[in-house]
A = this chain, B = another copy of it.
Amino acid sequence: MARHKTASPTNKELAILCILWNNGPSTVRQVNEEMNKRQRTGYTTTLKLMQIMTEKGIVVRDDSKFQHIYKPAISEEKTQNQVVGDLLEKVFSGSAEKLVMRALSAKKVSAKELSKIKKMIAKIEEK
Interface residues of A (CB under 8 A from B): 11, 14-15, 18, 22, 79-81, 83-85, 87-88, 90-111, 113-114, 116-118, 120-121, 124-125
CB<8 Å pairs between A and B, sample of 9:
A83-B87, A96-B104, A96-B106, A96-B109, A97-B113, A100-B100, A100-B103, A100-B104, A118-B118
Contact B14 A93 (CB under 8 A): no
Interchain CA distance A99-B93 in the complex, whole Å: 17
Chain B residues positioned under 8 Å from A22 (CB to CB): 93
Q: Which residue of B lies closest to A96 (CB)?
A: B107
What distance in Å separates the Cβ of A21 from its nearest Cβ neighbour in chain B? Answer: 9
**Contact present for A91 and B80 (CB under 8 Å):** yes
Closest-CB distance, A119 to chain B (whole angstroms): 10
CB distance from A31 to the nearest CB of B (A): 15
Report chain B residues within 8 Å CB of A87.
83-84, 87
